[in-house]
């Protein structure tokens, strides 16, 4: 099922409309190897999480779409997926468990323990720390629950879990910022105007690139987010 969605996603990016397409799929983790990971990181990995990493251990996809028909201040439409391999997700690129990216010595004490339990799964940000994280519980169970983290903002709980996230990567093609549609962010609030503008850009631009009508689902979700 997951493998089929991955194949479908990759095939959808074969369009001649797209430029600078890049796809890199990490070798899967064998089932028995999770025992070693769980021991090394003192964590219990939920079966839904295992089901992803036994298909691929890391996924990198990028693409761009340039067109004069997109009337916006944005220069182009882009997709960016960066599902981290299991080791990087758990301890970060530098082995410091995401210190100074997700949390720091200046993080409020009331937030610190929670932030330290967020494990970046899809590091899709390009100009700042912006990622979708798996939540690890206080008793160190790596759950399929997801949070959208944007540096300097309150994390947003996503209304989907990791298995649904993979399915939506197939539908959205990783178009930048799609994750906000699946939260309860209040897009009627002026402080979220930049995010609202990007969501509108996605809805208007998507059908210029892809013809599967998925923009209709995004429009429906958008109307709920602007009605809070």
- DSSP labels for 86-104? HHHHHH-TTSSTTBTTTB-
Whole-number pLDDT of residue 64: 94
User: Is residue 205 a part of any domain in this protein?
Assistant: no
Q: What domain count does the chain have?
A: 1
Residues above pLDDT 90, as percent of the chain:
82
- Most confident of the ranges 1-10, 106-115, 147-156, 180-189: 180-189
User: Is residue 68 a part of any domain in this protein?
Assistant: yes
User: Is residue 225 a part of any domain in this protein?
Assistant: no
User: Is residue 215 a part of any domain in this protein?
Assistant: no
Calculate mean pLDDT across residues 19-44: 95
User: Is residue 164 a part of any domain in this protein?
Assistant: yes
Report the SS3 class of residue 61: strand
Query: CB of 1 within 8 A of CB of 51?
Result: no
Mean pLDDT of the chain: 93
Select the more confidently predicted residue: 101 or 61.
61
Calculate mean pLDDT across residues 71-94: 86
Whole-number pLDDT of residue 72: 54
Helix then strand then coil, % of the chain, to nearest 5: 40, 25, 40
pTM of this structure: 0.93
Select the more confidently predicted residue: 95 or 170.
170
pLDDT at 119 over 60: yes
Range of the domain at 80: 2-176
pLDDT at 74 over 70: no
User: Is residue 160 a part of any domain in this protein?
Assistant: yes
Whole-number pLDDT of residue 70: 59
Query: CB of 79 within 8 A of CB of 176?
Result: yes
Could you give the CA distance from residue 161 to residue 54 in angstroms, rounded to a whole number? 17
- Tell me the CATH number at 56: 3.40.1580.10
Longest dimension (CA), the chain: 53
Report the SS3 class of residue 21: strand
Whole-number pLDDT of residue 96: 87
Whole-number pLDDT of residue 128: 82
Could you give the CA distance from residue 62 to residue 79 in angstroms, rounded to a whole number? 5
CA neighbor of 152 nearest in space, from 108, 89, 196, 97:
108
pLDDT at 212 over 90: yes
Residues above pLDDT 70, as percent of the chain:
96
User: What are the residues facing 97 on neighbouring strands?
Assistant: none
User: Is residue 117 a part of any domain in this protein?
Assistant: yes
Other CB atoms within 10 A of residue 109 CB: 6
User: Is residue 21 a part of any domain in this protein?
Assistant: yes
Sign of the dihedral through C-alpha 128, 28, 173, 215:
negative
């Amino acid at each position: 099922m997951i493998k089929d969605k991955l194949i479908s996603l990759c095939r959808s990016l074969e369009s001649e409309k797209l430029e600078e397409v890049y796809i890199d799929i990490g070798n899967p983790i064998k089932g028995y190897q999770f025992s070693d990971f769980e021991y090394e990181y003192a964590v219990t990995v939920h079966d839904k999480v295992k089901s992803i990493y036994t298909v691929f251990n890391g996924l990198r996809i990028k693409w761009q779409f340039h067109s004069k028909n997109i009337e916006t201040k944005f220069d182009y439409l882009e997709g960016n997926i960066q599902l981290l391999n299991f080791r990087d997700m758990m301890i970060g690129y530098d082995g410091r468990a995401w210190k100074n990216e997700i949390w720091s010595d200046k993080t409020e004490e009331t937030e610190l323990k929670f932030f330290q339990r967020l494990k970046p799964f899809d590091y899709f940000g390009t100009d700042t720390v912006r990622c979708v994280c798996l939540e690890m519980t206080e008793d160190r169970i790596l759950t399929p629950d997801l949070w959208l983290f944007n540096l300097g903002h309150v994390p947003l709980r996503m209304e989907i879990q990791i298995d649904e996230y993979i399915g939506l990567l197939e539908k959205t093609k990783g178009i930048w910022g799609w994750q906000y549609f699946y939260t309860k962010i209040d897009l009627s609030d002026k402080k979220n105007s930049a995010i609202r503008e990007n969501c509108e850009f996605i809805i208007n631009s998507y059908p210029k690139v892809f013809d599967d009508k998925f923009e209709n689902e995004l429009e429906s979700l958008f109307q709920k987010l602007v009605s809070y």
